[in-house]
Chain A
């Protein structure tokens, strides 16, 4: 362990990590389990554990520790259940689509998109949302999930195909 690294046992260093990673980690767990309450509980527990282990986790390894612990706690705690993401909002800005044929009620389409995202399999949903909603690069997602970039590309492709299968008829070209 590099001795020059800031110690997580120092309160301000711990707070810094918390402010940096609490939100993205909670969103990540939320995308996996579909309950914001449960996601917050899991991530808070991870941070409480991090405090207890503050002497053994180095500052630079904290990010990977947090996400790995989130994954483990999620797998331990969350019984497989149908995921319904209630906390997804669409920014209500009008997008000027080239295709004037896309005239299905936009708001109706957006609801259908959310349902289709909820219906994605567990493997694809979190990767898809991290990429499209959280705008994370594949290498970021690889670090968070522990997957390879190749695997992420596959999951993204599968997610898009499933979404088109579900929504293609609503997009009239």
Chain B
């Protein structure tokens, strides 16, 4: 085959010539042809061509706006993710532990209806609180002071007192958790579980009450259909006078100076919540105690 034809018939020939991989024989024969001289010039001129000028740094800057700046490196993102999770946990904790609190001042009374329809009558100078969210999943109420509960039927209603838990299944009862704890059952059945080491449990039915003086429990019966405080009367049966005087301060904004008298004497009787003069008379006169109001304050000074 004449060399002239070789580059036409062998479809890799010129490609191999460019790469310098022709055989010695092929190359020498090819270089003798006229076509070779033309190919040589085309090849040489082609190699003198320069490609476009590319500004890599400008492009990198542009790409960074879409990448590095938009999506922080993983480690930073992990930081953000952890921070977000911590914030969510804190937020959830705050929400789950958020409490709704109701407080009454001296002489105030309040009626509260809970999410499950139970009703609480909160007596004066008292406070109850419960979880603000998801309360119905765990119906716990914490009490300080005195309140009357009318609980609708349902599982798991518990009142936390200073000395133990009162748990109920739809009933009516009164809790007085002031100096001493006193729980009275007016309807149905309640269970009291004390916080002390014995974790002793007492069951109270209608007309039964449990009282604690220090740590001694005392279960006994009582006769009334609802706590007298709901009718704005405080009743006492054989209670020390100190107890009665303390009770007065829950309903009236007064301070009592009882240094001059013996407050250990027992009192049986009552006082009303909406008339201080009347209340002082009904409690102090039968005990033979004189009282006068100090000039410049709400202090009541007692004397024999």
- Show the binding face of A for B, using Cβ within 8 Å: 9-11, 14-15, 18-19, 22-23, 26-27, 30-31, 36, 40, 43-44, 47-48, 51-52, 55, 87-91, 93, 95, 97-99, 102, 109-110, 113-114, 117, 128-129, 131-135, 137-138, 150, 152-158, 160-161, 163-164, 167-168, 171, 173
Contact = CB atoms under 8 A, between A and B. Distances in A.
A134 B51 contact: yes
Given A87-B51, A87-B53, A51 B42 contact: no
Given A18-B63, A47-B63, A154 B11 contact: yes
Nearest to A40: B59
Nearest to B36: A173
A18 B56 contact: yes
B43 interface: yes
Contacts of A97: 41, 44
12 contacts: A23-B54, A27-B51, A40-B54, A89-B49, A90-B48, A91-B49, A109-B45, A150-B12, A154-B15, A157-B7, A161-B8, A168-B35
Contacts of B43: 132, 160
Contacts of B54: 22-23, 26-27, 40
B288 interface: no
B15 A153 contact: yes
A38 to B, nearest CB: 12
Contacts of A110: 45, 48
B137 interface: no
B101 to A, nearest CB: 50
B66 to A, nearest CB: 5
B71 interface: yes
A161 B34 CA distance: 14
Contacts of B93: none
Interface residues of B, number: 41
A22 B38 contact: no
Contact of A158 (B11, B35, B45, B47): B11
Contact of B68 (A11, A93, A109, A135): A11
B132 interface: no
Contacts of A156: 14-15, 18-19
A22 B56 contact: yes
Interface in B29-86: 34-35, 37-39, 41-54, 56, 59-60, 62-63, 66-68, 71, 73-74
Nearest to B45: A113
A133 B47 contact: yes
Given A9-B74, A18-B63, A44-B63, A131 B56 contact: no
Between B10, B63, B74, the greatest number of chain A beta carbons within 10 A of the residue's beta carbon is seen for B63
Given A91-B50, A154-B11, 19 more contacts: A18-B60, A22-B54, A26-B52, A26-B54, A26-B59, A36-B52, A44-B59, A52-B71, A87-B53, A88-B51, A89-B49, A102-B41, A114-B49, A154-B15, A156-B14, A156-B19, A157-B14, A160-B7, A164-B35
